[in-house]
């Protein structure tokens, strides 16, 4: 199999496993389980459309010179995508769908474990795809560097992310009993993931087109951090109050 085929295989596997886990998880959360069929479809449509649009827009933001090189060739515009953009776009799509159907309660907690699983499986595909996936890190002399076949030891950023996702899941599981409000698990996941992407993007060979020497995805991560930052003081206060 070619690197592109390997990556596609793991991407499809990530979607399938994540969706099956979501079907199981949504029954555990009253605000999600009690929704009718039409509401579920509206939220699902919002998540899918928002994620698809966000993934593409973030690619255009990250490398507009490459994305628009053959404009108006639509195929080139659709060539790349970003997980971070897909996540934030999915959040925006769900929020718009909730506003449309008049739903105010948070539904995010049911997505926490499916997202963590899907991201981890997908990153296995990124790692196996090598440099062709454009997610391999910068050259490094670190002892844990990985040669993706081009003879250059690089940061294995996909493996770093898998380790981060495992650690993030462990922290959320540990804190979950002390979280008071619905949606706080999801808010912690998104805040943590945006912080992680802000850091790990500095280890990748990305065009630094925006001040002060940041990539488009780093600015997108900052936007996500600012959006979820409003909830962090409240969550921290609740965690401190719930300490035994």
User: What is the per-residue pLDDT for 30?
Assistant: 59
Residue of higher predicted confidence among 179 and 66 = 179
Here the tokens at position 16 are: 């399938």
- Rounded to two decimals, the pTM is 0.91
- Over residues 72-90, the pLDDT tens digits come to 777 767 777 889 999 999 9
Distance between CA atoms of residues 232 and 218, nearest Å: 20
Measured CA distances, 55 to 25, 139, 178, 199, 239 (Å)? 25, 26, 33, 19, 33
Contact 95, 170 (CB under 8 A): no
Q: What is the pLDDT of residue 101?
A: 81
Coil, helix or strand for 237? helix
Return the bridge partners of 183, or none.
none
Q: List pLDDT tens digits, range 203-238.
A: 998 888 899 999 999 999 999 999 999 999 999 998
- The structure tokens 């050259």 sit at 139
């Amino acid at each position: 199999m070619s690197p592109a085929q390997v990556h596609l295989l793991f991407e499809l596997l990530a979607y399938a496993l994540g969706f099956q886990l979501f079907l199981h998880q949504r029954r555990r959360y009253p605000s999600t389980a009690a929704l009718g069929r039409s509401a579920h479809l509206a939220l699902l449509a919002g998540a899918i459309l928002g994620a698809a649009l966000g993934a593409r827009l973030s690619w255009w933001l990250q490398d507009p010179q490459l994305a628009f090189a053959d404009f108006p060739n639509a195929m080139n515009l659709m060539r790349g995508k970003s997980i971070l953009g897909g996540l934030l776009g999915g959040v925006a799509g769900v929020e718009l769908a909730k506003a449309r159907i008049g739903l105010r309660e948070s539904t995010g907690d049911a997505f926490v474990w499916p997202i963590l699983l899907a991201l981890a499986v997908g990153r296995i595909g990124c790692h196996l795809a090598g440099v062709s996936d454009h997610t391999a890190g910068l050259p490094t002399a670190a002892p844990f560097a990985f040669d993706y076949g081009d003879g250059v030891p690089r940061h294995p950023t996909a493996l770093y992310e898998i380790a981060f996702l495992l650690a993030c899941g462990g922290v959320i599981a540990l804190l979950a009993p002390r979280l008071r409000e619905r949606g706080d698990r999801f808010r912690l996941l998104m805040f943590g993931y945006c912080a992680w992407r802000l850091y790990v993007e500095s280890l990748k060979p990305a065009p630094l087109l925006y001040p002060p020497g940041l990539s488009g995805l780093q600015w997108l991560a900052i936007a996500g951090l600012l959006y979820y930052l409003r909830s962090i003081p409240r969550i921290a206060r609740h965690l401190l109050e719930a300490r035994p």
